[in-house]
Amino acid sequence: MNANTITLRCGQSRIHLLSDGTSYWDGGGTFGLVPRVRWMKLLPPDDLNRVPQELRCVLIEADGKHILVDCGVGNKPNDLIATQYDVRRPRGTLLDDLARCGLRPADIDIVIFTHLHGDHSGWATTLDEKTQYTGEEAAPERSPAPTFANARYYVQRQEYEDATHPNERTRNTYFAENFVPLMRFGVLTLLDGEAQITSSVRVVPTPGHTAGHQSVIVESASTDEPAPPVFLIGDMAPFMIHFERLPWVTAYDVLPMVTIETKRRWQSWAFERGAALVSCHDTRQPVGRLARNDKGLFSVIPLETGGAAE
């Protein structure tokens, strides 16, 4: 395992934080109705009012499986995420991070999407090497095919329906080439609510950012080896400050009031169980745990990882 990779442990499971790079998004989108004078003290923007957002993906080694949660932005040409937002990859892509873990795409057994936005599903497919000609002089065309050829992919049915029927607000966040081919290849499973993926890994609906958003929980499968769960919160709260503060909701959430109620429920759950939290976009505090501050409010405190967390 690469020394720069943060690894958390939950019983026999290992959770490795990977990345597809860092993107720069308008701070007003990230923090919504929160006044700039408040959020800029926590995360100063650049001259274009942009803030960095990690394109975090997570590798879970559990129950004899290699499980990947979310797939970054990918590498397809003309992808709106890559072209409209500044994406920087000084350490390479998600696939490079997997290689540093000693894994090829073919080694991934399961892919779980928190949701299907372009910054979470990009590497789900890649353009295959087969060329298709429509005429002798025609330019070759390449079709998207599953990147993780041996994997079963999982997403909520509601999310897939919304992604395949976008509206004026969502059509620039869903890109069919990332997920429709998965259905055509027969490798996509649509879920209806909470589901146990393996004995140690389950998904739970966490709507608000999208109606079909889900989060991932890793729990110790052994009653003889109790351990706090690891909670991959996804875009329910892209930064830890979003999870701390109920009214802090992004401008991208399609159901902001639902987001608030979802966070309220899962704040209590995470605090009561001492869950280790994993953020999908926070560049400064990728992992943490909820605690009560001196005002009696929730704060996310960092885990003393030193590269690993127990």
* pLDDT score of 307 more than 60: no
CB-based contact 75:93 (threshold 8 Å): yes
- Mean pLDDT across 20-42: 95
CB-based contact 259:209 (threshold 8 Å): yes
pLDDT-derived band of residue 306, with 50, 70 and 90 as boundaries? very low
pLDDT digits (tens, 9 = 90+) for 69-99: 999 999 887 566 666 678 999 999 999 999 9
The first and second tokens of residue 289, run together, are 């745990």
Looking at the DSSP assignment, which residues form a beta bridge with residue 56? Answer: 19
pLDDT-derived band of residue 114, with 50, 70 and 90 as boundaries? very high
Kindly list the distances between the CA atom of residue 169 and the CA atoms of 70, 172, 251, 252, in Å, as whole numbers in the listed order. Answer: 22, 7, 11, 9
CB-based contact 201:171 (threshold 8 Å): no
- Other Cβ atoms closer than 10 A to 172: 13
- Mean pLDDT across 158-165: 98
Structural domains in the chain plus CATH codes: 7-309 (3.60.15.10)
What DSSP state is assigned to residue 173?
A: T
How far is residue 239's CA from residue 29's CA, in Å, rounded to a whole number? 13
pLDDT-derived band of residue 280, with 50, 70 and 90 as boundaries? very high
- Mean pLDDT across 30-51: 95
**Of the candidate ranges 41-55, 73-87, 259-273, the one whose mean pLDDT is the lowest:** 73-87
pTM: predicted TM-score of the whole model, two decimal places: 0.92
- Other Cβ atoms closer than 10 A to 145: 17
207 phi/psi in degrees, rounded to 5: -70, 160
Q: What is the pLDDT of residue 175?
A: 93
pLDDT digits (tens, 9 = 90+) for 217-245: 999 976 666 789 999 999 999 999 999 99
Q: What is the pLDDT of residue 73?
A: 94
Kindly write down the DSSP assignment for every residue of 173-218, as one continuous string.
T--GGGTHHHHHTT-EEEE-S-EESSSSEEEEE--SSSTT-EEEEE
Nearest residue to 51 via CA among 75, 32, 77, 74:
32
Q: What is the pLDDT of residue 1?
A: 47
* pLDDT score of 261 more than 80: yes
Element (H, E) at 97: helix 94-100
Residues ≥6 apart with Cβ < 8 Å to 297: 244
- Other Cβ atoms closer than 10 A to 10: 25
pLDDT digits (tens, 9 = 90+) for 183-198: 999 999 999 999 999 9
- Mean pLDDT across 146-163: 98
How far is residue 171's CA from residue 117's CA, in Å, rounded to a whole number? 10
How far is residue 242's CA from residue 249's CA, in Å, rounded to a whole number? 6
Q: What is the pLDDT of residue 89?
A: 94
